[in-house]
Structure 1
């Protein structure tokens, strides 16, 4: 039953927002922001801020749907027709298979550098299995505490590094002015749309429910939680851009694409500031990558369990029950063990094409279905979208459509 009063929002209750933001910001986002600073200095600082505002809009809409209606996001999608299931079913299966290998490899890179006693592939396996164990044997409350520690480590190390290298205050302020340097248009769109934005944004509502926030009385708390999380993410992302601008742009050093670029930055830090600074950065790199592993293993498994429940005609379950379900644990196993084959044999071309095509559609799918659900009679009138929410979701959806077309073009052109 919906609460009639708003519960008091307190800082001590923050949690699900930190979880979703930390899960969404992984090694790939760190590289993207570093390269933005590497290529364009501070010029795209404004784009990182816009990106955080876009994610606040999307996460708030997801959380509001769960709290206002008492229904999950997948329950909402199901009410829109079978086409949502036709899209979602292959997407979550293929996505999990490919993402599992990517996440384990990204986490293994700093471990293999810090502790070269084991090969990269073995570190990747250990990262995946340990992430599985943490989620398998713990409930949400413990999982949230672990994620908070990882967020603290990645935040302190990266922001501390940015302060250590010394941001240029004048250039930082100029970077707040929306400008597009030559050759930066689609890179800017990717920076706005990519940082902290994945399928895990759809998991936010499940984490809100797992926290114990079950009705509209928690709306104020959810909104505070969401804003604090993405402001924290924004500071983290700006810090990465500062590092790229100060260490790489000014020196004319070209950073490699992909997770290897972070290892390259570690080498640069070691040469310029010594082994201690480089080690601290690699610890932050590990924390960002590992938080994505356990965040996805938990959040997307909750989403998958809800999907399975709906296929079986069960819509009355909740996240606490789903954490114990065979579907939840089965998807964690799917994320962990089959992707290990990709660590050994590489990624099959056709699978990567399917992964790219299905993945390109997800964020537009999320933005526009949220607009649909939150403007319909499915949502109590009090909690339907206002003009601010509709504007934010429309802008986010339009942005993601452009990014979707660009990514599809890249897939076709590279085929």
Structure 2
């Protein structure tokens, strides 16, 4: 057990990254609108996430490099390499800068569910104090520049988030039979867009880059492959349990319409008292803080790999990237600016980049020159092909949805 706890780290950060305010809101919407009936879709998304993240982790462990480094090294055609790296750069860096505002705002909603909103005026602008505080926390933790310190912080935050949401689900006294039925696929028509959103918020493109880089930082050598896989499966299953707990909470809430996770806290209060509101607020705060750290960190790793920078987390250029992402997130969140066009671009780019990255990851983990005897076997290729087909479907649908909303 001591060795297992010692090996916790990269997978926990990946779980923390996909359970952000957006995931909390999407799971809340699924629960409010469809009850327990979409738990099967969450199960599929968690399975797909484990398959892709295992490939990414194995790549980072065996090659000792991040995914963007490997893509840059393996693509020999200069024109194709520049195009693919530009697409990745645009989707991850610009996308994460836009979504950082949502991460910080989500954490603020958690605070404001318990405490009042606090603003101060600077000329014609009104700044939210909680946005500045949460951005400052993310800035401070990343500025420490120590992967081991980040690990400890994230383990604590993920455990806090897990306890908060799972306890809230228990408090709601859910229908166990209804939950079990929710794992059986039903009609696709009513919740198709919600199904796409559930899978899309779990299988996150930037996590594929983040995981490979984090694994290469923590471990060195194929002898750790078993530990990497155990830590990954445990962490993602824990993250999946949190997502399911949120769906269960929302299914029990007396809400007709939900636009954010803060509405979930308000809906639970009349039924289950102030304790449910506090637990949801704590979970949302932890989800917002963890995502506010992982999004800038992933952006910095992607830039480092795309441009071939050296120096790791201590590099001034590496720090400059995550600083810019956090600052933009704080500004957009604090001033209430909604960077709609940037987010729409990020959605289209991410819709393109998920299948592209998944295909390149699939290609690289089949290269003997990169992974040797640890390349994909037949079953890994069959399952990986199915997951990639799912990612292509999701990518096409997400792009069509954004285009229809222009």
TM-score using structure 1 length: 0.88
Contact 2:95/2:343 (8 A) holds in 1: no
Partner of 1:223: 229
1:200 to 189, 192, 207: 207
- Aligned residues between the structures: 391
Instruction: For structure 2, list consecutive stretches of 5 or more residues without a partner in the other structure.
Output: 76-80, 120-126
Identify the range of structure 1 (147-156 vs 101-110) with the bigger mean alpha-carbon deviation. Answer: 101-110
In the alignment, is the contact (CA less than 8 A) between 1:200 and 1:300 conserved in 2?
no
| Residues 1:301 and 2:308 are matched in the alignment | no
**Are residue 407 (structure 1) and residue 391 (structure 2) matched?**
no
**Equivalent position SS for 1:71:** coil
How big is the shift at 1:358? Answer: 0.9
Cα distance, 1:283 vs structure 2 = 0.9
5 Å matches for 1:269-288? 269-288=268-287
- What TM-score does the superposition give when structure 2 sets the normalisation length? 0.90
Which blocks of at least 5 consecutive residues in structure 1 are unaligned? 1-7
Structure 1 residue 338 corresponds to structure 2 residue 328: yes
RMSD over aligned Cα atoms: 2.1
Aligned in 2, Cα 1:158/1:290: closer, same or farther, shift over 3 Å? same
Change (3 A) 1:198 1:254: farther
2:27 to 23, 27, 33: 33
Q: Deviations over 1:223-250 (max 9, x none)?
A: 01110011111211111111122224xx
Matches within 5 A, 1:10-409: 10-78=4-72, 79-80=74-75, 81-116=81-116, 118-119=118-119, 121-195=128-202, 197-211=204-218, 213-248=219-254, 253-257=255-259, 261-308=260-307, 310=308, 317=310, 321-343=311-333, 344=335, 346-409=337-400
SS at match of 1:179: coil
Q: Distance in 1 between matches of 2:184 and 2:192?
A: 15
Alpha-carbon distance, 1:9 to partner: 6.7
Counterpart Cα distance in 1 of 2:156 and 2:128: 26
Q: Give the whole-Å Cα distance in 1 for the aligned partners of 2:365 and 2:224.
A: 17
Please report how far the alpha carbon of residue 191 of structure 1 lies from its aligned counterpart in structure 2 after TM superposition: 1.5
**CA distance in structure 2 between the aligned counterparts of 1:348 and 1:154, rounded to whole angstroms:** 28
The answer on whether the counterparts of 1:368 and 1:393 sit within 8 Å (CA) in structure 2 is no
Question: Does the 8 Å contact 2:22/2:201 carry over to 1?
Answer: no
**CA–CA distance in structure 2, aligned partners of residues 117 and 48 of structure 1:** 33
